[in-house]
Amino acid sequence: MDVVPQKTFLEHQHLVEKLNDYNHRYYVLDDPSVPDSVYDRQMLQLQALEQDYPALLTEESPSQRVGGAPLASFVQIKHKVPMLSLDNAFVDADLADFDRRLKDRLNASEAIIYACEPKLDGAAVSLLYRDGTLIYGATRGDGSVGEDITANVRTIKSIPLKLRGQNIPALLEVRGEIYLPTVGFDALNASAIASGGKTFVNPRNAAAGSLRQLDSKITASRPLEMCAYSVGQYEGIDTPLTHHGMLNSLATWGFKINQHMEVVTGITACVDYYNRLALRRSQLPYDIDGIVFKVNQLSLQKRLGFVAKAPRWAIARKFPAQEEMTEVLDIEFQVGRTGAITPVARLRPVFVGGVTVSNATLHNGDEIARLDVRVGDSVIIRRAGDVIPQVAKVVIDRRPADTEPVMFPERCPICQSSVLRLADEAVARCTGGLFCGAQIKEAIKHFASRKAMDIDGLGDKLVELMVDESVIFSVADLYDLTVERLVGLERLAEKSAANLVAAIHESKKTTLAKFLYALGVREVGEATAQTLANNFGHIDIIGRASVDQLLEIDDIGPVVAKHITDFFRNPDNLSIIDALQTAGVNWPAIDLDDQSFKPLKGKVWVLTGGMQVMSRAEAKDVLQALGAKVASSVSTKTSQVVAGPGAGSKLTKAQSLGIPVMSEAQLIEFLMDPK
User: Is residue 468, in this structure, part of any structural domain at all?
Assistant: yes
Q: Express each pLDDT in 623-668 by its tens digit.
A: 887 888 888 888 888 999 998 877 777 888 888 888 999 988 888 8
Residue 293 and residue 205 in one domain: yes
What is the per-residue pLDDT across 450-477, written as a single tens digit (0 to 9) for each? 889 999 999 999 999 999 888 998 899 9
What 3-state DSSP class applies to 387? coil
Closest among 103, 94, 222, 109 to 156, alpha carbons compared: 222
C-alpha 283/C-alpha 496 separation (Å) is 39
Contact 375, 328 (CB under 8 A): yes
Residue 1 scores a pLDDT above 50: no
Give dist(CA 131, CA 620) in Å, integer.
Answer: 54
pLDDT given at position 37: 62
31 and 101 part of one domain: no
In the chain, the percentage of residues whose pLDDT exceeds 90 is: 41
Statement to judge: residues 577 and 642 lie in one domain: no
Rounded Cα–Cα distance for residues 260 and 651 (Å): 13
Examine the domain organization and report whether 163 and 289 are in the same domain.
yes
- Specify the DSSP class assigned to residue 90: -
**How many domains, the chain?**
6
Beta strands 604-608 and 640-643, pairing class: parallel
Write down which residue in 267, 285, 318 finishes a domain.
318
Q: Are residues 344 and 437 in the same domain?
A: no
Domain CATH code at residue 345:
2.40.50.140
Give the C-alpha separation, 336 to 75, whole Å.
54
Same domain, 106 and 216: yes
Choosing from 318, 352, 367, the residue where a domain stops is 318
For residues 263 and 386, state if they share a domain: no
Question: Kindly report the CA angle at 332 between 329 and 338, in degrees rounded to 5?
Answer: 155
Looking at the domain assignment, is residue 162 inside a domain?
yes
Q: Determine whether 119 is an active site residue.
A: yes
360 and 338 both lie in a single domain: yes
Beta-sheet strand order (sheet of 661-662): 629-631, 604-608, 640-643, 661-662
Residue 297's pLDDT is: 94
Active-site residue identified among 18, 119, 162, 650: 119
CA–CA gap between residue 94 and residue 99 (Å, rounded): 9
Question: What are the tens digits of pLDDT across the range 372-398?
Answer: 999 999 998 887 655 678 888 898 888
CATH code at position 491: 1.10.150.20
Q: What is the DSSP letter of 534?
A: H
Task: Give per-residue pLDDT as tens, 477-525.
Answer: 999 999 998 987 887 889 999 999 999 999 999 999 999 999 999 889 8
* Domain stop point among 582, 615, 632: 582
Residue-range definition of the domain harbouring residue 475: 433-506
Task: Assess whether 263 and 301 both reside in one domain.
Answer: yes
Distance, first Cα to last Cα, the chain: 65
What are the DSSP calls for 646-674, one per residue? T--HHHHHHHHHT--EE-HHHHHHHHHS-
User: What is the model's pLDDT at position 14?
Assistant: 84
Q: State whether 165 and 295 are in the same domain.
A: yes
